[in-house]
Amino acid sequence: QIHLVQSGAELKTPGASVKVSCKASGYAIITYGLSWLRQAPGQGLEWMGWISADNGKTNYAEKLQGRVTMTTDASTNTAYMELTSLTTDDTAVYFCARKTATFDYWGQGTLVTVSS
Amino acid sequence: EIVLTQSPGTLSLSPGERATLSCRASQSITNNYLAWYQQKPGQAPRLLIYGASSRATGIPDRFSGSGSGTDFTLTISRLEPEDFAVYYCQQYIDSPRTFGQGTKVDIK
């Protein structure tokens, strides 16, 4: 059974950074790419980017370039997404999802709240 | 980037009825690289359809997708109680990957 389990909710102040983890089980993370998406409260889905875990190649959404970093650790089968210089507009549920084209398995989501 | 426009915004139907959801793209999506997802409150989305018409693993055959070019349709032949949710289309021919704004199917 394939599962993606994400880290817990975070409360951050504007200007801070957040790092969300996504631990995969049931498959080796290096065999597929992994994507990150987010969903602001009451809004639709926004693609943030993906990482190819076998070679570390990344593709980030243009609006997040310079603020987002996606990494993987094959030894723990875990992916990470770090977002810096947070603003209130970054308040959202963050999802990891397997693959880079369609997204067939998803994490449960991590709520990141940015508030002063 | 490719803009996807879904219609209607909300579809109010009764169990057993047929639901027809539309997704229109701002430019042609070659190879039918169009997917559909279902999302229920507090849950992650679930992949229903990929390649415009192929059902993902475990998806009931009451869900079907069709279309090509710029116009795509998700049809739910007979709504079950568990089908009331929000549905999103998504293109994967181009980067950035983009989603429609969603269609909510609620109980009439």
Tell me the per-residue pLDDT of B1-29, one tens digit each, with 9 for 90 and over: 999 999 999 999 999 999 999 999 999 99
**Taking 90 as the threshold, does the pLDDT of residue A47 lie above it?**
yes
B97 touches chain A (CB under 8 A): yes
Tokens of B65: 């997708």
CB contact under 8 A, B102 and A106: no
Residue B65 DSSP symbol: E
Task: Report, as an integer, the average pLDDT of A4-33.
Answer: 96
- The vertex-B91 CA angle with A64 and B53, nearest 5°, equals 155
CB contact under 8 A, B96 and A45: no
Instruction: Return d(Cα B74, Cα A5) in angstroms, integer.
Output: 30
CA distance B15 to chain A (A): 25
Q: Is A35 within 8 Å of A99 (Cβ atoms)?
A: yes
Cα atoms in the 13 Å half-sphere on the side-chain side of B35: 21
pLDDT at residue A104, rounded to an integer: 95
- Mean pLDDT in chain B? 97
CB contact under 8 A, A46 and B95: no
Cα atoms in the 13 Å half-sphere on the side-chain side of B3: 2
Which residues in chain A have their CB less than 8 angstroms from residue B46's CB? 106
Strands (E), chain A: 3-6, 10-12, 18-25, 33-39, 46-52, 58-60, 68-73, 78-83, 92-98, 110-114
Q: What is the pLDDT along chain B (108 residues), one digit of tens a residue?
A: 999 999 999 999 999 999 999 999 999 999 999 999 999 999 999 999 999 999 999 999 999 999 999 999 999 999 999 999 999 999 999 999 999 999 999 998
Give, for B72, the enclosing helix (H) or strand (E). strand B63-76
Which residues in chain B have their CB less than 8 angstroms from residue A35's CB? 97
**Taking 90 as the threshold, does the pLDDT of residue A100 lie above it?**
no
CB contact under 8 A, B44 and A35: no
